Amino acid sequence: MGEHWIVNASPLIVLAKVGMAEFLIAMPDSLVTSQVVADEILRGPAEDPAARLVASGAIAIVDAPPPPAFLVGWDLGPGETSVLALASMEPSRIAVVDDAAARRCANSLGVPTRGTLSVLVQAKRSGLLAEIAPVLSRVRAAGLYLSDRLVKEVLEQARE
C-alpha cells in the first residue's frame, strides 16, 4: 500500500477494545505512535487491550518533535498534537485520528488522515473484514460516538 500511519490514542483504544487492532498493524506498511500517546495509554489499567498492545511492542513508539507554533495554536490535546507533529514531518505519513479539530488541523497542514471508521472500511475493502455493521455496534459500545447519519454513510461506503 505504501502507507505509513501514525496512530492516536482514540483509534488505537477503540479498535483494541473491539478486537480489531490487528487492522492497524496489518494494513499500513508501517505503524507508529508517539511516546506521548503511548504514555497516555499505558497510564490506564495494564489489562486494557490497548495497553497490552502498546506494551507488546507491536507498534513502534517514537518521540515527536516539538510542535511548531502554528500547531500549538490549534489547542489540541497532547496526543493529537504529537501525532500531527510527526505526520507533518513527511508527506507520506497519514495521521490516524478521530478528533474533528485534529482532522481539520491536519487538513490545514496538508496531512492526510484516517479515522477508526475509515480503517474499518479499508479493512472490508481489503477483504480482512467480512461485514462492518456488527463491528459498528461494538464500536459504539466501546464509547466512540457515532451519529446515525455517520453510520449510514459508513455502511454505504462499505456497500452494506
Question: What is the DSSP annotation of 118-158?
Answer: HHHHHHHHTTS-S-SHHHHHHHHHTT----HHHHHHHHHHT
Q: Tell me whether residue 159 is in a domain.
A: no
Domain range holding 94? 4-115
Q: Decide if pLDDT at 1 tops 60.
A: no
Residue 105 belongs to some domain of the structure:
yes
Q: How many structural domains are present in the chain?
A: 1
Q: What is the pTM of this model?
A: 0.93
Query: CA-based angle 37:39:44, to the nearest 5?
Result: 105
Average pLDDT, the chain: 94
Specify if 65 maps to a domain: yes
pLDDT at 140: 93
Q: Quick check: is 148 in a domain? A: no
Each residue of 73-108: pLDDT tens digit?
A: 999 999 999 999 999 988 789 999 999 999 999 999
Could you identify the residue written with the cell 507491536? 58
Mean pLDDT within 49-65: 95
CATH of the domain at 47: 3.40.50.1010
For residue 98, give the nearest of 42, 28, 156, 15 by alpha carbon.
15
Of the pLDDT bands very low, low, confident and very high (cuts 50, 70, 90), residue 157 is: very high
Q: Is residue 94 part of a domain?
A: yes
